[in-house]
Amino acid sequence: MGEHRVRVTQDSGSRWRRRAGEYETLREALAAAEPGDTVTVRPGVYRENVLLDKAVTLLPAEGPGTVRIDPPSGVALTVTAAATVRDLLVEGYDSSAAAVRITGPGADARLSGVRVDTHSAVGIEVDDRADPHLSGCVVANPSGLGLRLRGGAGALFEDCEVTAAGQAGLAVLEGAKARLERCRLHHTAGAGVLLTDAGSLAELTGCEVYEIRGSGVQAESKAAGRLTDCEIHRVTGNGLTLDTEAELDLFQCRLHDLPENAADLRGRSLLTLRQSSVRAFGRGALSVWDPGTRAEASGCEIEDSTGDYPAIWVSDGAQLTLSDCDLHDLPDALFVLDRDSRAIVTDTSFSRIRSSAVSVSSGASVALERCRVQQAGTGLWFRDHGSGGVLTGCEISDVATGVIVTKGADPVLRDCVVRGSAEAAVYVSAQGRGSFEDCRVLQGRGFGFHIIDGCRSALTRCRAEQNARAGFEFSEPGPVVEACTSDDVPPQATAPAESVPGPRAAHGGAAGTLQLTSAPALAPLAQITPIPDCRPADEALAELDALIGLATVKQEVRTLIDLISVGRRRRQAGLKAPSLRRHLVFTGSPGTGKTTVARLYGEILAALGVLQRGHLVEVARVDLVGEHIGSTAIRTQAAFDQARGGVLFIDEAYALAPEDGARDFGREAIDTLVKLMEDHRDEVVVIVAGYTAEMERFLGANPGVSSRFSRTVAFPDYTDSELLEIARTQCREHEYELAEGTADGLLGHFATLDRGPNFGNGRTARQVFETMVERHAMRVAQLADPSTEELQLLVPADLPLPSSRPDVAGWAH
């Protein structure tokens, strides 16, 4: 039949108007309408539940927003047929119902320009195999879901917007399918898009998801999503959350301004990123967890982390594939950890990485091919037993350390180049292994291959060029070397390179030849105090006894020496000696003689044959902690090596464990130190020193720290009389004398000093003496012909504080 127009007006009740096709209520008009009719509605508020069960068109007579449907309860608008609805305003306040419901297999309705402004359970619900097409519609539902599809339904949304939702903006459940083109979902209290249940699918093209108090897209329970040319930003949760075999495919999408993870994957889920960008994230770009979980990224850019977390985290047996990607301006780029976790990376660039570009630990593995690492703290770090992988054709440049292999890790590097490293191109220690084939290390400011602790790495056809310290630096028994060469010539070296037989060849073959030049001496990393040529212990003990004050300290040291001496004699007599840990903690304020006592302690141990040399290597945090992951371990190892046979004295050791240093590299120095103390317990005595309270924090920084130190020696502050005696000693050493009354003045001066945290004890006494010498020089310089006595005598006028001096009138000239 042809189209007829049925009119609805609220101010008409006459029979004539009804006969003319004009009705007072929507219900009457729709009942009278035939399929294909158009029902036009005069402006007004219609407080009735509207049912469209015919293929009619419903629209306002005078334009968008002039007709409002607002029933007291229930669903405001229900569509069960191929109806068309245009430009209506739908409201509703039923927390148990949808404001608009499109339902049934015949409901292939078309809604355009409809605005749903409601406080309902759902703004628009599509269910029971309905298949509508919505365009230009707007939903605001602060009390519930924005859009919900379920029950095998499908829907196409074009240029639609969810401006507010108390839960998810779009929920696709129970095998439903949604297509969104050029839509916006924002200001929701749940996920922007929620996908759940097997068969559920959402396809978004050119859409924007933002201002979300939850995840941008959350997919779970075998649901799937495909996003093309979409933008997800400013969400408080993850940009993407996948769980329980969910799948998401993103193409040419942009994820940014995300305080949490850009994508968090668990439960055998799969995320595919193609030609997309991820930037400005707080807890990582990709976090991939659980066996069977996979992330695949190609042609993507990951940049600009706002937090301290690795950009990509792969653990618990998950898998990652990266190809042709660019990762830059990150704290750490890729962490792979746990057994069966694996990352396959090809043709990918890592640049401007503040710590590690790639870190592999806890049995994980990586395969990198034709990758580039530039401007990073550490290029690659293989941390522990079972960790490894294969690197082929990779280039690492402008890093602190190129490759670190420790604690039993065993990677394979083939045809790789490390260029311009600051500390070491390749560093292997602590039972690390590794095979290096056809690799080049060049133009570094430190060592090329630095392999210590007798690690049995294998080097085949490797070459070192223009490295400042040496191309190859090994400790016995050293790596397996075959056909490796070096043209490194240290500064001022004139001798030609010599051919040095290398250790046994790899794989049991014939011994190769390692072409090396003489290496320059290692630059000192710490202050080293030599000792006199092994004077008797009694002389060193006498010097200890001669120190001013420190009675309890002297007694502690003598007790230790007695225990060590008697233990030695017991062993000589064939008896068991007590097991002693010689490492000490010195606590107390600055200037109380801790460094001096440490030096004498080492000298006494050397005289007793406990230490080989007894020299003192004094270091602080700055000597042990590097700016990048990996460099700290190298510096700590170097300081420890310098102290072999003597004492390693770490002043202000508590600075290695700051109170707010969760990611501070000082913890790495402590971990390295604990391991070295255990592995070389008879070679080095370690003394850590600092303020009493702060040293308690240091001892709690690592479970192994407190067990390594046998006792704590407390250094008390000097008394006023002891400070005076230190000043008298300074006078004798520098050939000065204290005049009558000066000693009393000094004693009074010391009594007035503030003994707060900045008090220097013996250092203060020496500074006071230096001040008196300066004031003496200024006074005596005014005399025309001073006598020898005047050149030596310090008088009360030379005291630093006039308020503490007695009457000095008689000493004016």
Contact 486, 516 (CB under 8 A): yes
For 161-195, write each residue's pLDDT tens digit.
Answer: 999 999 999 999 999 999 999 999 999 999 999 99
Q: Is the pLDDT of residue 309 over 50?
A: yes
Single-letter code of the amino acid located at 290: D
Using DSSP, state whether 406 is helix, strand or coil: strand
Q: Tell me what pLDDT residue 186 has.
A: 97
Q: What is the DSSP string of 152-206?
A: T-EEEEES-EEEEESS-SEEE-TT-EEEEES-EEEEESS-SEEEESTT-EEEEES
pLDDT score for 500: 34
- Token pair belonging to 550: 């420190």
Summarised one tens digit per residue, pLDDT across range 775-789 is 888 888 888 888 888
Both structure tokens of 107? 């409901």
Within a 10 A sphere around the Cβ of 502, how many other Cβ atoms?
23
Q: Is the pLDDT of residue 675 over 80?
A: yes
How sure is the predictor about 496, in pLDDT bands with cuts at 50, 70 and 90? very low
**Model confidence band, residue 801 (pLDDT cutoffs 50, 70, 90):** low
pLDDT digits (tens, 9 = 90+) for 356-390: 999 999 999 999 999 999 999 999 999 999 999 99
| SS3 (DSSP) at 455 | coil
611-658 pLDDT per residue, tens: 888 888 888 888 888 766 667 888 888 888 888 888 999 988 888 887
CA geometry: angle at 378 spanning 373 and 381, to 5°? 100
What whole-number distance in Å separates Cα of residue 249 and Cα of residue 171?
18
**Choice among 58-67, 117-126, 167-176, 665-674 with the minimum mean pLDDT:** 665-674
Percentage of residues in the chain with pLDDT exceeding 90?
Answer: 53
Distance CA 203, CA 582 (A): 69
Give yes or no for residue 492 having a pLDDT over 80.
no
Residue 503 reports pLDDT greater than 70: no
Q: Does position 410 have pLDDT exceeding 90, yes or no? A: yes
In a 13 Å sphere around the CA of 428, the CA atoms on its Cβ side amount to: 29
Rounded to an integer, the average pLDDT of 460-483 is 91
pLDDT band at residue 262 under the 50/70/90 scheme: very high
Better-predicted residue by pLDDT, 802 or 282: 282
| Residues 78 and 50: beta-carbon distance below 8 Å | yes
Average pLDDT on 578-584 reads: 74
SS3 476: coil
Stretch 684-711: mean pLDDT:
80
3-state percent breakdown (helix, strand, coil) of the chain, nearest 5: 20, 35, 45
CA dist., res. 244 & res. 222, Å (int): 6
Least confident of 71-75, 86-90, 410-414, 664-668: 664-668
- The rounded distance, in Å, linking the Cα atoms of 584 and 713 is 7
For residues 529 and 600, is the Cβ–Cβ distance under 8 A? no
Confidence of residue 488 (pLDDT cuts 50, 70, 90): low
Q: If you search the block for the tokens 């607002």, which residue do you land on?
A: 70
pTM listed for this prediction:
0.66
Exposed/middle/buried for residue 307 (C-beta within 10 Å: 0-12, 13-18, 19+)? middle
Average pLDDT of the residues of the chain: 86
Q: What is the β-pairing status of strands 498-501 and 513-516? A: antiparallel
At 804 the pLDDT is 40
| 655-664, 681-690, 704-713: least confident range | 655-664
Q: Which of 477, 486, 421 is nearest to 451 (CA)?
A: 477
Average pLDDT over residues 676-689: 85
Structure tokens at 64: 């968008």
User: How confident is the model at residue 529, as a pLDDT?
Assistant: 53
Q: Is the peptide bond before 477 cis (omega within 30 degrees of 0)?
A: yes
Instruction: Count Cα neighbours of 678 within 13 Å in the Cβ-side half-sphere.
Output: 10
18 vs 172: which has the higher pLDDT: 172
| The pairing of beta strand 201-205 with beta strand 161-165 | unpaired
The CA distances from residue 613 to 344, 498, 569, in Å, are 50, 32, 21
User: 132 or 707: which carries more pLDDT confidence?
Assistant: 132
Q: What is the pLDDT of residues 74-108, one digit of tens each?
A: 999 999 999 999 999 999 889 999 999 999 999 99
- Identify which of 26, 136, 3, 11 has the alpha carbon closest to the alpha carbon of residue 77: 26
d(CA 247, CA 265): 10
User: Does the pLDDT of residue 263 top 90, yes or no?
Assistant: yes
